[in-house]
């Protein structure tokens, strides 16, 4: 609406709010005064479910998380869209490096044909159990990984014997080759003698060439990236790195890999599509049910702990920071939003 009064021109909007006013000057021109439009800041609304699954998968990149959903590589995972925003912990804790070029060709044609292995450590702090290292064993054919925490590097042979007995019994085949770097834990006379006695061919990569053991090197890097993100996002102490590394390996066995098409390492190994409905955010506060036999009538029925992993029986691994004790329970209520104080 436009009005003219006393040589003043006024323009109003539909709500009768003054938008433009002008007054006639002596030189017969109008001096215009405009009301500035009120600016509004629209905040981008993100899908909380997508970010929650990002945390449950140990800060897995959204590209692989979306592949898991689109290709139905796991059960019970909703549709995941790649958001435009970035994760603060991922930016701070993951550093991009050039990918290794694989010098050694792919030689496996079945499970346990080739096992990659590498030791990582020592870490700057010990776990509650006194571990400072971890060792990874990766099946070249399925890309499934197994992780063991170590107090010292000299335990690698004993751990390898346990690993060998377990995987050979599970799939009914024998380990044929073990590929590792030239670390003393793999080149000791005792380790060499054991491989000779069991018919395992050792492939030791040349010194200062981690690219030759690229599969294990990359897996180590990925696990450590996830560990840093998982601890930082929940403000957890660094001495829980061991539990975080074991959980990260558990998650990676249920995520995509370039060597497999539309299936996860877990499915390639077990021939069963894994479910992810039980995944929760690492480090979440949870409340464990206290059995009747362990409490009195007026005692609390639930006690608060920290979720630090998944047990093979289907329960959750929980940590009590006050006494440094780890327990396993299925009767758990998880609060994925709250951080431990």
The answer to the question of residue 341 being in a domain is no
Is 224 domain-assigned?
A: yes
**289 and 261 housed in the same domain:** no
Tens digits of residue pLDDT in 237-273: 999 999 999 999 999 999 999 889 899 999 999 999 9
Which tokens in the block code for residue 330?
């299925």
Residue 189: Cβ-neighbour burial (10 angstroms; 0-12, 13-18, 19+): exposed
* Domain count of the fold of the chain: 3
Over residues 69-93, the mean pLDDT reads 87
Q: Could you read off the pLDDT of 292-325 as tens digits, one per residue?
A: 566 666 565 668 899 999 998 889 999 998 888 8
DSSP element (H, E) containing 248: helix 241-252
Q: How far apart are CA 106 and CA 244, in angstroms?
A: 30
Structure token pair of residue 222: 């990925």
Q: Is residue 120 domain-shared with residue 194, that is, in the same domain?
A: yes
Whether residues 219 and 109 fall in one domain: yes
279 part of a folded domain: no
1 pLDDT band (50/70/90 cuts)?
A: low
Whether residue 312 sits in one domain with residue 261: no
Shared domain check, 305 and 168: no
Q: If DSSP codes are grouped into helix, strand and coil, which group holds residue 293? A: helix
Q: What is the tens place of the pLDDT at every residue in 278-301? A: 999 999 999 987 665 666 665 656
Q: Residue 277 falls within a domain, yes or no?
A: no
80 and 132 housed in the same domain: yes
Asked if the structure places residue 41 within a domain, the reply is: no
- Indicate whether 240 and 153 sit together in one domain: yes
**Cα gap 155→310, rounded to integer Å:** 24
Q: What is the CATH number of the domain that holds 244?
A: 3.30.420.10
Q: Which domain holds residue 21?
A: 2-34
* pLDDT of 44: 35
Residues 5-45: tens digit of each pLDDT: 666 667 666 666 665 566 666 666 656 555 544 443 333 33
Q: Report the pLDDT value the prediction gives residue 12, as an integer from 0 to 100.
A: 66
pLDDT per residue over 23-32, tens digit each?
666 666 656 5
How many Å apart are CA 117 and CA 219, to the nearest integer?
A: 10
Predicted confidence (pLDDT) per residue in 140-199, tens digit: 999 999 999 999 999 999 999 999 999 999 999 999 999 999 889 999 999 999 999 999
| Token pair for 157 | 């042979």
Three-class DSSP category at 158: helix
């Amino acid at each position: 609406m436009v009005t003219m009064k006393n040589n003043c021109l006024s323009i109003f909007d539909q709500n009768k709010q003054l938008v433009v006013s002008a007054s006639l000057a002596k030189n017969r021109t109008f001096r215009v005064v405009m009301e500035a439009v009120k600016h509004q800041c629209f905040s981008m609304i993100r899908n909380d479910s997508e970010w929650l699954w990002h945390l449950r998968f140990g800060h897995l990149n959204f590209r692989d998380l979306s592949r898991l959903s689109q290709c139905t590589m796991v059960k019970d995972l909703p549709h995941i869209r790649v958001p435009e925003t970035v994760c603060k912990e991922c930016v701070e804790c993951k550093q991009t490096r050039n990918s290794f070029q694989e010098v050694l060709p792919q030689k496996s044609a079945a499970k346990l044909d080739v096992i990659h292995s590498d030791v990582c450590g020592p870490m700057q702090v010990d776990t509650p159990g006194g571990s400072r290292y971890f060792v990874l064993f990766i099946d070249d054919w399925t890309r499934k990984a197994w992780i063991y925490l170590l107090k010292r590097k000299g335990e690698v042979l004993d751990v390898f014997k346990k690993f060998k007995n377990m995987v050979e019994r599970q799939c009914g085949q024998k380990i044929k080759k073990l590929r590792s770097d030239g670390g003393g834990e793999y080149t000791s006379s005792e380790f060499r003698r054991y491989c000779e006695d069991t018919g395992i061919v050792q492939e030791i990569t040349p010194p200062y060439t981690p690219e030759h053991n690229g599969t294990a090197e990359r897996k180590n890097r990925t696990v450590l990236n996830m560990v840093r993100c998982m601890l930082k996002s929940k403000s957890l102490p660094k001495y829980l790195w061991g539990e975080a590394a074991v959980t990260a390996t558990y998650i990676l066995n249920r995520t995509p890999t370039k060597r497999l098409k539309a299936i996860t390492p877990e499915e390639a190994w077990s021939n069963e599509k894994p479910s992810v409905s039980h995944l929760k955010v690492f480090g979440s506060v949870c409340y464990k049910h206290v059995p009747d036999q362990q409490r009195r009538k007026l005692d609390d029925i639930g006690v608060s702990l920290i979720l630090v992993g998944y047990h093979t029986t289907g329960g959750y691994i929980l940590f009590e920071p006050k006494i440094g004790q780890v327990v396993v329970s299925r009767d758990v209520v998880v609060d994925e939003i709250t951080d431990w104080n």
